[in-house]
Amino acid sequence: MTLVERFLNYVKFGTQSDELTGTTPSTPGQMVFAKALEQELRDMGLSEISLDELGYLYATLPANTDEPVPTIGFIAHMDTAPDMSGDGVNPLIVQYEGGTITLNEEQGIVLDPAEFPEMNDYVGQQLIVTDGTTLLGADDKAGIAEILAAVQWLQEHPEVKHGKIRVGFNPDEEIGMGAHHFDVEKFGADWAYTMDGGAVGELEYENFNAAGAKVTFKGRNVHPGTAKDKMVNSQRVAMRFLAMMPQDEVPERTEGYEGFFHLTGIKGNVEETTLSFIIRDHDGERFATRKEQMQQWCDAINEQFPGCATVEIKEQYRNMREKIEPVMHVIDVAKKAMERAGVVVKVQPIRGGTDGAQLSFKGLPCPNIFAGGMNMHGRYEYVPIPSMEKAMRTIIEICRLVAE
């Protein structure tokens, strides 16, 4: 199978994850896909193939040299985002010569460079797009396809020497659970790379520190006709809380290393209202301050409405930079491999999280490399085929460099 054939096959599997199920994997479609990948690995003749009951799949391409070479790994996740349906994906290949791309004429869904100016970087290239009714799934099935296409290439070119190569595919990255049950000891790599970045050239070893926060407001409901000086409308109190927060420290007004508070959900009535947030910052001290601010705003509310507001904060993941900086050779290898693959390297912080962050804190240094997808998690997602090819070539060059 070619790289593109693999990808087009993989996106047909419905693997949308769901944080509400409480199971691992969180949805049955992920295990269906894992079993199909397991069979593909067997058909390829890989060794040490293992699929556990939680949907974690590992395999080995044995070394083809007797020289001592570090064992390296490549990792990608099988699930797609809960943000939009990943069932019935109908990918289309278009030759892009500029201008708009009509994804769905009937529904008037158009991919427009006026809204997505990055499209102009890919004029003259073939793009794989959606039909506008689902996401595509390049995040991260492009990564899986690139890893296995690179493994196949190495099998077909034994003259290229490499050490032991481990591959790992996991469920539930999109709901923050991808690395929770990843068996680092069993994986047995000296270091690894997640193939889960975006545009061609991205190399990332810094990510947000992350927490989730749930703020609950207790109200008092009485008949509105006799409510004066008695009613406490928890919804209106919640709005006071929101008004206290910095209005510019939100995702839609920040970039680069700027952190934010992101309101992800509101649920309420007069008696009780809950606000759900995610808190993000690259800097550890600023991150700690953000968490303290949530409590301070609750305290201010409670001064006006005693006992009304409570906040629950849960840590999610930490910035992997502190784990990667002591082993910067893993970044140097990736940079050189990209350059050999004809890629302009763009080292940048991840404005989000990655399985590699959690894996790095579990003892497996694991920076993130581009997989090529753009506009991920929605109907406007696309992936340029040359970007996927360069990601595949980067994997091959990493394996070659480590053996050298």
Catalytic residue ranges: 79, 173
State which amino acid sits at residue 330: V
Instruction: Spell out the residues 6+ positions from residue 39 whose beta carbon is closer than 8 angstroms to its own.
Output: none
| Calpha distance 292→288 (Å, rounded) | 6
Inter-residue contact 191 to 73 (CB < 8 Å): yes
DSSP letter assigned to residue 61: E
Instruction: Write the CA distances from 188 to 70, 73, 297, integer angstroms.
Output: 10, 9, 46
Instruction: Spell out the residues 6+ positions from residue 190 whose beta carbon is closer than 8 angstroms to its own.
Output: 70, 71, 72
Q: Which two tokens stand for residue 207?
A: 């990510």
Inter-residue contact 217 to 234 (CB < 8 Å): yes
| Calpha distance 389→400 (Å, rounded) | 17
Return the beta strands (E) in 37-164 as ranges: 47-51, 57-61, 72-77, 92-95, 101-104, 109-111, 126-129
Instruction: Write the CA distances from 159 to 7, 44, 45, 147, 400, integer angstroms.
Output: 27, 18, 18, 19, 10
Rg (CA), the chain: 23
In DSSP notation, 242-300 reads HHHS-TT-SGGG--TT--EEEEEEEEE-SSEEEEEEEEEESSHHHHHHHHHHHHHHHHH
Instruction: Spell out the residues 6+ positions from residue 272 whose beta carbon is closer than 8 angstroms to its own.
Output: 216, 217, 218, 219, 234
Helix (H, G, I), strand (E, B) or coil at 382: strand
Q: Which two tokens stand for residue 250?
A: 């939100």
Question: Beta strands 202-204 and 57-61: pairing type?
Answer: unpaired
State which amino acid sits at residue 233: N
